[in-house]
Amino acid sequence: MSNKKAVILLSGGLDSVTVLAIAKAQGFECHAMSFDYGQRHSSELQASINIAKASGVEHKIIPLNLRLIGGSALTDNIDVPDFDANSDEIPVTYVPARNTVFLSVALGWAEVLDADAIFIGVNAVDYSGYPDCRPEFIQAFEVLANLATKTGVEGKKLSIETPLIDLTKAQIIQKGLELGVDYSQTISCYQADDHGKACGVCDSCVLRKQGFEHAGVSDPTIYA
């Protein structure tokens, strides 16, 4: 029995669920954390609840209303755009400082748990171009984390683990299937309906759909 502990940021999407499976396979005692941050739909959060339960891990949902800040199509009255492969701009679905905020709260819990790692499913290959998914951001957060906490000052090293960062979406799916992930339980769509049906046209849907195609496996997503 291992004593290694990890906090897993679990959105209920394809990536974070794969990360949970990877952390478990690496022998970590996993503690999942999700945020009710005012996202457009609650089916993603419900997916995280179902997945944590099925995995038998502790799960905290933190209410933190980022709509109070706004500035994103996911938390404000801005339409979610269709996927545009030719755009190199950061899209309006970017939520200001979201990963910084999520990692910070996870850091607090990691300190209380005396955890060794925080896992986050960021990916710098098939992604929406968000600044807070890049390796240099993650490295800077790890430096910060070890200066920010009492455990850090006392010499305990916390690592920020990003096992998906260099994988294509297809490779993520293949990895998850090897570990027994049931992707029918996951929700990736930025604007899924109340029944968890995906729109099929937003960035996140298109990247996911292409991932299943390139992995050569059938896509269990239910589209509206």
Question: In whole angstroms, what is the distance from residue 49 CA to residue 106 CA?
Answer: 17
- The contacts of residue 187 (CB under 8 Å, 6+ apart) are 12, 13, 43, 44, 47, 196, 198
Asked if 119 and 4 touch (Cβ cutoff 8 Å), the reply is: no
Contact between 78 and a second copy (CB under 8 A)?
A: no
User: Binding a second copy by CB under 8 A: which of 10, 22, 94, 162?
Assistant: 94
Site for a second copy in 148-207 (CB under 8 A): 148-150, 152-153
Candidates 43-51, 80-88, 141-149, 197-205: pick the segment binding a second copy (CB under 8 A).
141-149
User: Binding a second copy by CB under 8 A: which of 26, 46, 104, 159?
Assistant: 104
Task: Report which of 15, 60, 67 is spatially closest to residue 39, judged by C-alpha positions.
Answer: 67
Q: Kindly state the tokens that stand for 140.
A: 């800077």
Alpha carbon 224 to chain centroid distance?
Answer: 23
Q: How many residues bind a second copy (CB under 8 A)?
A: 43
Instruction: For a second copy, give the closer residue by CB, 122 or 172.
Output: 122
- The contacts of residue 27 (CB under 8 Å, 6+ apart) are 2, 4
Contact between 111 and a second copy (CB under 8 A)?
A: yes
3-state DSSP call for residue 48?
helix
Contact between 107 and a second copy (CB under 8 A)?
A: yes
Contact between 60 and a second copy (CB under 8 A)?
A: yes
In the complex, the residues that contact a second copy under the rule CB under 8 A are 60, 62-66, 68-71, 90, 94-101, 103-105, 107-109, 111-112, 131-132, 134, 136-137, 140-141, 143-145, 147-150, 152-153
